[in-house]
């Protein structure tokens, strides 16, 4: 099986890493070759760290890196069995990609999207054969997070849905089947929960440190909500929050004012060196 990954940002490069580690020849596509090469260097670096930790043989690491080829042309994904799109969360961008992809891949190629906030049915609506489309929502960072949500769109074919589920298993993940509803499963629960946590900071006069300690030691969370939001990024969370609120109109889905202020101030978390904490 050959896998294509469109978009080699944080999510896409993680998915490409999973694919080459699982033994699949993988084509990674980025709009600029420099960005693609940067992603490959990052994947090689992460795999080298696994060798240093003793969890991966040097030969296996070299073979995995060699399985990844890079391109800027969508036409180079023509012979892929599955293409996983991990581009920017914008419906127009994804529509354009899916239309071009359908024109270059085989009739039996599965087109998967890693969207977390958009409707898979909407993304697939531009396809001549929407039954070939499915959601494969990985979590960040993809190589470390065990879950992948397999999302059945309105017209996803049964065999496509099951093939995506099996691919999730082969990539070493725990897949769960779900329907194409806003937020799917995890974000539908987690986003309003994290928003509640942020509101508690102001309403109960609690510090981020105290809230994180409370949820870790009182609720058994592996990471506190403020730490988690700093890892995800205020920009990513607010974007997903707004998308859920727009669809469901539930007040808990709307991003809290504090997070919106942090976003406006550029305090996005780990990636900018400051969020709820300084890094």
Q: What are 176-200's pLDDT values in tens digits? A: 999 999 999 999 999 999 999 999 9
User: In the CATH hierarchy, which fold is given to the domain comprising 2-179?
Assistant: Rossmann fold (3.40.50)
**Residue 117's pLDDT band (cuts 50, 70, 90):** confident
Q: What is the CATH number of domain 188-271?
A: 1.10.1040.10
The gap from C-alpha 31 to its chain's centroid, in whole angstroms, comes to 18
Per-residue pLDDT band for 140 (boundaries 50, 70, 90) equals confident
pLDDT above 70 as % of the chain: 100
The pLDDT value recorded for residue 138 is 97
Q: pTM for this structure?
A: 0.92
Mind telling me the catalytic residues? Answer: 116, 137, 149, 187
Cα–Cα distance list, 114 to 11, 15, 121, 123 (Å): 8, 9, 13, 11
**Predicted local distance difference test score (pLDDT) of residue 162:** 98
Q: Which tens digits make up the pLDDT trace of 241-273?
A: 999 999 999 999 999 999 999 999 999 999 999
Question: How far is the CA of 46 from the CAs of 41, 42, 90, 152, 267, in angstroms?
Answer: 9, 6, 29, 32, 27
Tens digit of pLDDT for each residue in 201-222?
A: 999 999 999 999 999 999 999 9
CA 221/CA 216 separation, integer angstroms: 4
Mean pLDDT of the chain, nearest integer: 97
pLDDT at 156: 98
pLDDT at 278: 97
Q: Whole-angstrom Cα distance, residue 81 to residue 102?
A: 12
Does 135 score more than 90 pLDDT? yes
**Domain locations in the chain?**
2-179, 188-271
Element (H, E) at 199: helix 186-203
Measured in whole angstroms, the distance separating CA 21 from the mean position of its chain's CA atoms is 18
């Amino acid at each position: 099986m050959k896998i294509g990954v469109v978009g080699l940002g944080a999510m896409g490069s993680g998915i490409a890493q999973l694919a080459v580690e699982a033994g699949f020849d993988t084509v990674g596509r980025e709009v600029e070759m420099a960005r693609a090469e940067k992603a490959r260097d990052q994947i090689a670096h992460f795999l080298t760290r696994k060798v240093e930790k003793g969890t991966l043989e040097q030969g296996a690491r070299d073979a995995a890196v060699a399985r990844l080829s890079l391109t800027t042309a969508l036409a180079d994904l023509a012979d892929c069995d599955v293409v996983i799109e991990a581009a920017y969360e914008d419906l127009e961008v994804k529509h354009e990609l899916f239309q071009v992809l359908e024109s270059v891949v085989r009739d039996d190629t599965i087109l998967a999207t890693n969207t977390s906030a958009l409707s898979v049915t909407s993304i697939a609506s531009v396809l001549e054969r929407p039954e070939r489309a499915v959601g494969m929502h990985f979590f960040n960072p993809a190589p470390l997070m065990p879950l992948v949500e397999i999302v059945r769109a309105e017209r996803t074919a049964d065999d496509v849905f099951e093939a995506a589920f099996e691919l999730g298993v082969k990539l070493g993940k725990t897949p769960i089947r779900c329907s194409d509803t806003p937020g799917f499963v995890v974000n539908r629960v987690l986003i309003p929960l994290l928003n509640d946590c942020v509101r508690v900071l102001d309403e109960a006069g609690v510090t981020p440190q105290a809230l994180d300690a409370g949820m870790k030691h009182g609720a058994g969370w592996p990471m506190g909500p403020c730490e988690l939001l700093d890892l995800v990024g205020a920009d990513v969370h607010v974007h997903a929050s707004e998308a859920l609120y727009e669809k469901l109109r539930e007040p808990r889905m709307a991003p809290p004012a504090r997070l919106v202020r942090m976003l406006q101030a550029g305090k996005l978390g780990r990636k900018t060196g400051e969020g709820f904490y300084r890094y």
